[in-house]
Amino acid sequence: MVLVTAGLALAIVFWNASWRPARNVVTIVHEAGHAVVALLAGRRLSSIRLHSDTSGVTVSRGRTEGPGMVCTALAGYLAPSVLGLVFAALLLGDRVGTVLIVCAALLLGVLVMIRNLYGVLSLVITGGVLFAVSWLATAEVKAAFAYLITWFLLVGGVRPVFELQRKRRRGQARDSDADQLHRLTGAPGLFWVAVFAAINTGALAIASAWLLLP
């Protein structure tokens, strides 16, 4: 089951036809990462928007510079991989139910702050799938679904980083998280893309060792 769900997650992420709709899930977690860290940093969360091109925007109020703003900007691209690593640790302890509960809590938290129709639709569809599996599926299907979510977040957290750099190279992402971090810290945007890539691939490697090695 672990190998099959890993292979399925890879197929979803690297097949463009499936990646486009599935990427909405990564965007939900990305924006949730911004939102959670903004609240932890003492900022005031205003709104979250999810767009049909799979982009998203999280607006928070507070200081426009300083460690809190840096951490908030940093959190988005790291959130899917970090959450996937947490889920991998939970699955090691056979805590399938906890994985599904965390997913439900995350969707509910984002839904409270969503401010556009497409965002609501994305969350309702995602939540509907989660509800169906949680309440109607057998224990084996729930476990397979939890593993699939985990692998998808881990692998799906890596691809957007490389997509980001391609857009930056073409001048199409001038207000990306990496470029915001450049303006906040002075470190080049490419440095922050490398940080995203290193942490996310590291999370994938660690989780793979946990789940695949005896």
At 6-25, the pLDDT tens digits run: 999 999 999 999 999 999 99
At 97-140, the pLDDT tens digits run: 999 999 999 999 999 999 999 999 999 999 999 999 999 999 99
The whole-model pTM stands at 0.95
**What is the mean predicted confidence (pLDDT) over 52-77?**
93
**What is the mean predicted confidence (pLDDT) over 50-73?**
93
Taking alpha carbons only, the member of 39, 88, 86, 79 closest to residue 59 is: 39
The residues spanned by each domain of the chain are: 2-212
Query: With 80 as the cut, is the pLDDT of residue 55 above it?
Result: yes
pLDDT at 176: 93
pLDDT at 180: 94
Least-confidence region, from 32-36, 44-48, 155-159, 169-173: 169-173
Residues 6+ apart with CB under 8 A from 85: 154, 203, 206, 207
User: Is-contact 2 212, C-beta < 8 A?
Assistant: yes
User: Is-contact 188 182, C-beta < 8 A?
Assistant: yes
**What is the mean predicted confidence (pLDDT) over 135-154?**
96
At 162-213, the pLDDT tens digits run: 999 999 998 888 889 999 999 999 999 999 999 999 999 999 999 999 999 8
The pair phi, psi for residue 62, each rounded to 5°, is 155, -160
User: Is-contact 152 9, C-beta < 8 A?
Assistant: yes
pLDDT at 64: 86
- CA–CA gap between residue 2 and residue 163 (Å, rounded): 27
User: Terminus-to-terminus CA distance in the chain, angstroms?
Assistant: 14
**What is the mean predicted confidence (pLDDT) over 81-100?**
96
